[in-house]
């Protein structure tokens, strides 16, 4: 990094959808513009003056389909009138759109075209039934292959990965790891009032998971519904600033985290994943971010990984080098990624527990790391090992196509 870059003043809306007590699909709900406004105003409320924000970046995947609304940069001024006539634009990289919003904001500050940027991610997906939404989400892959895929396209893609994992390493063995991933997600989400699974009161999460064996007649062949993230509406936002920018905002280092490094890589979307048992782009992107930071994965104290499906979480553990191929399920089953484990992951629930408003997920991950490293995580706060002072976020678009990895430390 040619200069020091910081994150501060993060905020999330509620991740709304099935699982929340107040969610009613038959009643009119908040729209895209309301989520942008709510998340943005929560950030502005933590700084001294919205006038000090130089640029705005909005990550979003499919507002044009879900909400019949494009041109999202034009909504920045709804957050605060002082943001009108400021540079504002939207960026897209499927479920990695939030991460691209962060990267765009970081690059702007590095280029010295801005001292303070607002990175925001948003998606409102409960405007159509899941089976129709599956067709929208399929465009995160190569849509030419849509007819070759499952009706629920992306669950089908990751079901295929899970099936190969079962075949090579054993069904019962793998399901223990996947089940523990699900339990961790819900237990963490129950501690965060903004999480989609916050109201989940099921006493026996292991029993719930184990009694729902995958059944291709009703869903996909190798995953059950608890292996999947839900359809979500929500937004997250955070400030990215230079040291001079923090001074302008009147924010001290104690309320900021430093971005030590970042990497963003993309593989060829027209090809199948090179190895169904490996998240190759995640592996390469994380390795590059860690190398640029000058650290190893053993120095990372907490990570937010892109668990759109539980098998993606297990494979991410292996891609990060925390476990050898095939041993990720055991690493998780033994509690190493739980909130009191070696490397707590997805401490507010991740995509399965907190929710997955697709274009907002990458920004939510950054907000969670900022909260943890600055001690602002409330009931979700973990005890960070002083020997592992770094945070890491991994945001993925499509089936391991677009990946953003960011390394953080307390300022």
Query: What was the pLDDT predicted at 16?
Result: 98
User: Rounded to whole angstroms, what are the CA distances from 242 to 364, 390, 403?
Assistant: 21, 19, 24
The yes-or-no verdict on residue 397 having pLDDT over 80 is: yes
Query: What was the pLDDT predicted at 79?
Result: 98
Query: Mean pLDDT for the chain?
Result: 97
Query: What was the pLDDT predicted at 163?
Result: 98
Query: What was the pLDDT predicted at 145?
Result: 86
**Encoding tokens for residue 28?**
């009119």
**What is residue 147's DSSP assignment?**
G
Confidence of residue 150 (pLDDT cuts 50, 70, 90): confident
Express each pLDDT in 323-333 by its tens digit.
999 999 999 99
The yes-or-no verdict on residue 84 having pLDDT over 80 is: yes
- Of the listed ranges 136-150, 161-175, 258-272, the one predicted with least confidence: 136-150
- Residue ranges per domain, the chain? 5-129+231-254
Query: What was the pLDDT predicted at 97?
Result: 98
Express each pLDDT in 94-135 by its tens digit.
999 999 999 999 999 999 999 999 999 999 999 998 888 988
Contact 248, 116 (CB under 8 A): yes
Query: What was the pLDDT predicted at 116?
Result: 98
The yes-or-no verdict on residue 1 having pLDDT over 80 is: yes
DSSP character string of 164-207:
HHHHHH-HHHHHHHHHHHHHHHHHHHTT-TTSTTTT---S-HHH
Q: Is the pTM of this model over 0.75?
A: yes
Q: What fold, for 5-129+231-254? A: Peroxisomal Thiolase; Chain A, domain 1 (3.40.47)
**What is residue 345's DSSP assignment?**
B
């Amino acid at each position: 990094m040619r200069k020091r870059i910081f994150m501060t003043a993060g905020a999330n809306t509620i991740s709304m959808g099935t699982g929340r007590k107040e969610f009613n699909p038959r009643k009119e709900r908040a729209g895209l513009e309301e989520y942008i406004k709510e998340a943005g105003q929560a950030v502005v409320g933590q700084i001294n003056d919205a006038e000090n924000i130089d640029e705005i970046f909005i990550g979003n995947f499919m507002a044009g389909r879900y909400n019949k609304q494009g041109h999202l940069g034009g909504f920045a001024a709804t957050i605060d009138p002082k943001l009108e006539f400021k540079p504002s634009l939207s960026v897209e990289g499927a479920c990695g759109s939030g991460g691209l919003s962060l990267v765009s904001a970081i690059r702007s500050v590095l280029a010295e075209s801005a001292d303070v940027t607002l990175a925001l991610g948003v998606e409102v997906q409960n405007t159509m039934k899941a089976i129709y939404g599956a067709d929208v989400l399929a465009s995160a892959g190569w849509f030419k292959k849509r007819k070759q895929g499952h009706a629920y396209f992306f669950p089908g893609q990751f079901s295929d990965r899970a099936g190969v994992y079962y075949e090579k390493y054993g069904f019962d063995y793998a399901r223990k790891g996947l089940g523990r991933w699900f339990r961790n997600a819900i237990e963490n989400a129950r501690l965060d009032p903004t999480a989609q699974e916050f109201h989940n009161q099921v006493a026996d999460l292991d029993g719930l998971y184990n009694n729902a064996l995958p059944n291709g007649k009703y869903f996909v062949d190798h995953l059950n519904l608890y292996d999947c993230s839900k359809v979500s509406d929500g937004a997250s936002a955070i400030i990215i600033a230079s040291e001079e920018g923090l001074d302008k905002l009147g924010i001290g280092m104690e309320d900021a985290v430093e971005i030590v490094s970042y990497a963003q890589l993309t593989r060829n979307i027209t090809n199948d994943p090179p190895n169904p048992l490996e998240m190759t782009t995640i592996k390469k992107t994380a390795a590059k971010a860690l190398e640029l930071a000058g650290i190893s994965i053993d120095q990372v104290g907490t990570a937010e990984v892109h668990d759109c499906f539980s098998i993606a979480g297990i494979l991410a553990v292996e891609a990060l080098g925390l476990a050898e191929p095939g041993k990720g399920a055991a690493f998780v089953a033994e509690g190493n990624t739980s909130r009191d484990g070696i490397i707590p992951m997805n401490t507010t629930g991740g995509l399965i527990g907190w929710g997955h408003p697709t274009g907002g997920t990458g920004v939510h991950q950054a907000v969670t790391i900022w909260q943890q490293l600055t001690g602002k995580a409330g009931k979700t706060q973990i005890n960070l090992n002083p020997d592992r002072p770094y945070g890491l976020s991994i945001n993925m678009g499509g089936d391991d196509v677009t990946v953003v990895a960011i390394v953080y430390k307390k300022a």
